[in-house]
Protein backbone atom coordinates (compact mmCIF):
# COMPACT_ATOMS: atom_id res chain seq x y z
CA UNK A 1 0.00 0.00 0.00
CA UNK A 2 1.40 3.36 -0.96
CA UNK A 3 0.79 6.64 0.79
CA UNK A 4 0.29 9.96 -0.98
CA UNK A 5 3.60 11.16 0.45
CA UNK A 6 5.46 8.14 -0.88
CA UNK A 7 3.96 6.88 -4.15
CA UNK A 8 5.27 3.45 -5.16
CA UNK A 9 8.35 3.16 -7.30
CA UNK A 10 9.64 0.19 -9.26
CA UNK A 11 13.17 -1.14 -8.95
CA UNK A 12 15.09 -3.10 -11.53
CA UNK A 13 18.40 -4.72 -10.57
CA UNK A 14 19.88 -5.66 -13.95
CA UNK A 15 23.14 -7.65 -14.09
CA UNK A 16 25.12 -8.06 -17.30
CA UNK A 17 27.93 -10.28 -18.52
CA UNK A 18 30.38 -8.83 -21.05
CA UNK A 19 31.42 -10.90 -24.08
CA UNK A 20 35.21 -11.60 -24.10
CA UNK A 21 35.23 -10.30 -27.70
CA UNK A 22 34.88 -6.80 -26.20
CA UNK A 23 38.55 -6.94 -25.20
CA UNK A 24 39.56 -7.29 -28.85
CA UNK A 25 37.95 -3.98 -29.81
CA UNK A 26 40.54 -1.27 -30.51
CA UNK A 27 41.21 1.27 -27.76
CA UNK A 28 39.70 4.21 -29.62
CA UNK A 29 36.54 2.22 -30.23
CA UNK A 30 36.29 1.27 -26.55
CA UNK A 31 36.84 4.87 -25.46
CA UNK A 32 34.08 6.15 -27.74
CA UNK A 33 31.78 3.34 -26.60
CA UNK A 34 32.41 4.28 -22.95
CA UNK A 35 31.48 7.91 -23.65
CA UNK A 36 28.33 6.82 -25.49
CA UNK A 37 27.25 4.58 -22.61
CA UNK A 38 28.01 7.23 -19.97
CA UNK A 39 26.03 9.83 -21.92
CA UNK A 40 23.06 7.46 -22.12
CA UNK A 41 23.10 6.90 -18.34
CA UNK A 42 23.40 10.66 -17.73
CA UNK A 43 20.28 11.33 -19.82
CA UNK A 44 18.41 8.45 -18.17
CA UNK A 45 19.13 10.00 -14.78
CA UNK A 46 17.00 12.99 -15.73
CA UNK A 47 13.95 10.69 -15.96
CA UNK A 48 14.69 8.24 -13.12
CA UNK A 49 17.52 7.16 -10.82
CA UNK A 50 20.18 4.94 -12.36
CA UNK A 51 23.10 3.73 -10.25
CA UNK A 52 25.98 1.88 -11.91
CA UNK A 53 28.09 -0.80 -10.23
CA UNK A 54 30.96 -3.09 -11.12
CA UNK A 55 30.98 -6.79 -10.23
CA UNK A 56 34.09 -7.45 -12.33
CA UNK A 57 36.22 -10.19 -10.78
CA UNK A 58 33.70 -10.73 -7.99
CA UNK A 59 31.36 -13.04 -9.89
CA UNK A 60 31.81 -15.43 -12.78
CA UNK A 61 28.30 -14.74 -14.06
CA UNK A 62 28.17 -10.90 -14.04
CA UNK A 63 30.48 -7.96 -14.73
CA UNK A 64 28.24 -4.97 -14.01
CA UNK A 65 24.90 -4.03 -12.51
CA UNK A 66 22.45 -1.22 -13.17
CA UNK A 67 20.14 -0.34 -10.29
CA UNK A 68 17.18 1.46 -11.86
CA UNK A 69 14.60 3.24 -9.71
CA UNK A 70 11.59 4.60 -11.56
CA UNK A 71 7.89 5.40 -11.33
CA UNK A 72 7.23 2.91 -14.14
CA UNK A 73 8.65 -0.36 -15.45
CA UNK A 74 8.35 0.97 -18.98
CA UNK A 75 11.10 3.54 -18.37
CA UNK A 76 13.47 0.78 -17.35
CA UNK A 77 12.54 -1.14 -20.50
CA UNK A 78 13.31 1.91 -22.63
CA UNK A 79 16.73 2.25 -21.03
CA UNK A 80 17.46 -1.45 -21.55
CA UNK A 81 16.49 -1.13 -25.21
CA UNK A 82 18.74 1.90 -25.67
CA UNK A 83 21.65 0.12 -23.97
CA UNK A 84 21.41 -2.74 -26.46
CA UNK A 85 21.49 -0.24 -29.33
CA UNK A 86 24.87 1.16 -28.22
CA UNK A 87 28.24 -0.21 -29.29
CA UNK A 88 28.90 -1.52 -25.78
CA UNK A 89 25.41 -3.03 -25.68
CA UNK A 90 26.28 -5.31 -28.56
CA UNK A 91 28.81 -7.03 -26.30
CA UNK A 92 26.64 -7.60 -23.20
CA UNK A 93 23.98 -10.11 -22.21
CA UNK A 94 21.78 -10.13 -19.11
CA UNK A 95 22.66 -12.65 -16.41
CA UNK A 96 20.12 -11.67 -13.73
CA UNK A 97 17.16 -9.30 -13.67
CA UNK A 98 15.30 -8.77 -10.40
CA UNK A 99 12.12 -6.67 -10.14
CA UNK A 100 10.57 -5.16 -7.03
CA UNK A 101 8.55 -2.18 -5.83
CA UNK A 102 8.38 0.02 -2.76
CA UNK A 103 5.66 -0.11 -0.12
CA UNK A 104 5.46 0.69 3.61
CA UNK A 105 6.76 -1.99 5.97
CA UNK A 106 4.21 -3.88 8.07
CA UNK A 107 6.68 -4.05 10.93
CA UNK A 108 8.64 -0.76 10.89
CA UNK A 109 6.37 2.11 9.85
CA UNK A 110 9.05 4.79 10.21
CA UNK A 111 11.59 3.00 8.06
CA UNK A 112 12.51 4.88 4.88
CA UNK A 113 14.70 2.99 2.39
CA UNK A 114 17.94 4.76 1.54
CA UNK A 115 17.14 4.92 -2.17
CA UNK A 116 14.09 7.10 -1.40
CA UNK A 117 16.27 9.77 0.21
CA UNK A 118 18.79 12.20 -1.28
CA UNK A 119 21.72 10.38 0.30
CA UNK A 120 24.62 9.51 -1.99
CA UNK A 121 25.14 5.83 -2.89
CA UNK A 122 27.66 4.11 -0.64
CA UNK A 123 30.79 2.31 -1.88
CA UNK A 124 29.25 -1.16 -1.90
CA UNK A 125 25.80 -2.59 -2.31
CA UNK A 126 25.05 -6.26 -1.64
CA UNK A 127 21.98 -7.36 -3.59
CA UNK A 128 20.01 -10.55 -3.16
CA UNK A 129 16.52 -12.05 -3.59
CA UNK A 130 14.82 -13.14 -0.39
CA UNK A 131 12.13 -15.81 -0.01
CA UNK A 132 10.30 -16.80 3.17
CA UNK A 133 8.36 -20.02 3.67
CA UNK A 134 4.58 -20.18 3.34
CA UNK A 135 4.52 -21.24 7.01
CA UNK A 136 5.77 -17.73 7.90
CA UNK A 137 2.78 -16.05 6.30
CA UNK A 138 0.36 -18.39 8.12
CA UNK A 139 1.66 -17.35 11.53
CA UNK A 140 -0.44 -14.83 13.51
CA UNK A 141 0.63 -11.26 12.76
CA UNK A 142 1.59 -10.48 16.36
CA UNK A 143 3.90 -13.50 16.42
CA UNK A 144 5.56 -12.41 13.20
CA UNK A 145 5.84 -8.84 14.46
CA UNK A 146 7.61 -9.95 17.62
CA UNK A 147 10.17 -11.93 15.65
CA UNK A 148 10.67 -9.06 13.22
CA UNK A 149 11.32 -6.68 16.12
CA UNK A 150 14.24 -8.92 17.12
CA UNK A 151 15.41 -8.91 13.51
CA UNK A 152 15.17 -5.11 13.27
CA UNK A 153 17.00 -4.65 16.58
CA UNK A 154 19.99 -6.55 15.19
CA UNK A 155 20.05 -4.31 12.13
CA UNK A 156 20.11 -1.17 14.29
CA UNK A 157 23.38 -2.34 15.84
CA UNK A 158 25.03 -1.66 12.47
CA UNK A 159 24.41 2.00 11.54
CA UNK A 160 27.19 1.76 8.94
CA UNK A 161 24.94 -0.55 6.90
CA UNK A 162 22.00 1.01 5.06
CA UNK A 163 19.10 -1.32 4.29
CA UNK A 164 16.88 -1.07 1.21
CA UNK A 165 14.01 -3.56 1.40
CA UNK A 166 11.60 -3.74 -1.52
CA UNK A 167 8.79 -6.11 -2.45
CA UNK A 168 8.53 -8.55 -5.34
CA UNK A 169 5.24 -10.31 -4.59
CA UNK A 170 3.38 -10.88 -7.85
CA UNK A 171 5.99 -9.29 -10.11
CA UNK A 172 9.00 -11.63 -9.74
CA UNK A 173 9.96 -15.03 -8.34
CA UNK A 174 11.17 -13.85 -4.90
CA UNK A 175 9.21 -12.25 -2.04
CA UNK A 176 11.61 -9.36 -1.45
CA UNK A 177 14.70 -7.76 -2.92
CA UNK A 178 17.31 -6.71 -0.36
CA UNK A 179 20.03 -4.18 -1.12
CA UNK A 180 22.43 -3.47 1.74
CA UNK A 181 24.64 -0.42 1.18
CA UNK A 182 27.86 0.01 3.14
CA UNK A 183 31.48 1.11 3.01
CA UNK A 184 32.36 -1.59 5.53
CA UNK A 185 31.98 -5.13 4.17
CA UNK A 186 33.24 -6.84 7.37
CA UNK A 187 30.47 -5.05 9.29
CA UNK A 188 27.93 -6.30 6.76
CA UNK A 189 29.27 -9.83 7.12
CA UNK A 190 28.91 -9.60 10.91
CA UNK A 191 25.35 -8.33 10.49
CA UNK A 192 24.43 -11.31 8.31
CA UNK A 193 26.00 -13.74 10.78
CA UNK A 194 23.98 -12.24 13.64
CA UNK A 195 20.77 -12.29 11.58
CA UNK A 196 21.29 -16.04 11.07
CA UNK A 197 20.79 -16.43 14.82
CA UNK A 198 17.38 -14.70 14.93
CA UNK A 199 14.05 -16.54 15.01
CA UNK A 200 13.09 -15.18 11.59
CA UNK A 201 15.98 -17.18 10.13
CA UNK A 202 13.95 -20.37 10.65
CA UNK A 203 11.58 -19.25 7.92
CA UNK A 204 14.08 -18.28 5.22
CA UNK A 205 13.85 -20.49 2.14
CA UNK A 206 16.34 -18.67 -0.11
CA UNK A 207 18.62 -15.66 0.06
CA UNK A 208 20.95 -16.32 -2.87
CA UNK A 209 22.59 -15.29 -5.13
CA UNK A 210 24.16 -12.72 -2.79
CA UNK A 211 26.03 -10.32 -5.08
CA UNK A 212 28.57 -7.72 -3.95
CA UNK A 213 28.65 -4.67 -6.24
CA UNK A 214 31.10 -1.73 -6.24
CA UNK A 215 29.69 1.71 -7.04
CA UNK A 216 31.56 3.25 -10.00
CA UNK A 217 30.98 5.73 -12.79
CA UNK A 218 29.78 4.24 -16.11
CA UNK A 219 32.94 5.16 -18.02
CA UNK A 220 35.18 3.70 -15.32
CA UNK A 221 33.22 0.44 -15.40
CA UNK A 222 33.63 0.07 -19.16
CA UNK A 223 37.31 1.03 -19.13
CA UNK A 224 37.95 -1.63 -16.49
CA UNK A 225 36.73 -4.35 -18.84
CA UNK A 226 40.09 -4.46 -20.61
Query: Do the beta carbons of residue 89 and residue 83 sit within 8 Å?
Result: yes
- The span from the CA of 167 to the CA of 179, in Å, is 11
- The span from the CA of 203 to the CA of 211, in Å, is 21
Residue 87 burial (CB < 10 Å; 0-12/13-18/19+)? middle
91 is a catalytic site residue? no
DSSP characters for 162-205? EEEEEE-TTTSSSSEEEEEEES-HHHHHHHHHHHTTSGGGGGEE
Q: At what angle do helices 185-195 and 141-156 cross, to 10 degrees?
A: 150
Query: Do the beta carbons of residue 117 and residue 192 sit within 8 Å?
Result: no
- The span from the CA of 62 to the CA of 48, in Å, is 23
Instruction: Tell me the H-state helices in 99-140.
Output: 134-138
With b for 16 or more beta-carbon neighbours within 10 A and e for fewer, the 122-144 pattern comes to: bebbbbbbbbbeeebeeeeeeeb
Contacts for 74 with CB less than 8 Å, ≥ 6 apart: none
Q: Which of 53, 91, 128, 167 is catalytic?
A: 128
**Catalytic residue set:** 128
Amino acid sequence: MASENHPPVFLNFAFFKVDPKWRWLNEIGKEEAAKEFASLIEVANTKMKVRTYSTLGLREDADLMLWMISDSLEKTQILASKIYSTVFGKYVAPSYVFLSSSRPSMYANKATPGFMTDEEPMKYVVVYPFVKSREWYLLPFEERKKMMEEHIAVGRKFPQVRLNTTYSFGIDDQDFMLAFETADLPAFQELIMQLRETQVSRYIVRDTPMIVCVHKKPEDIIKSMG
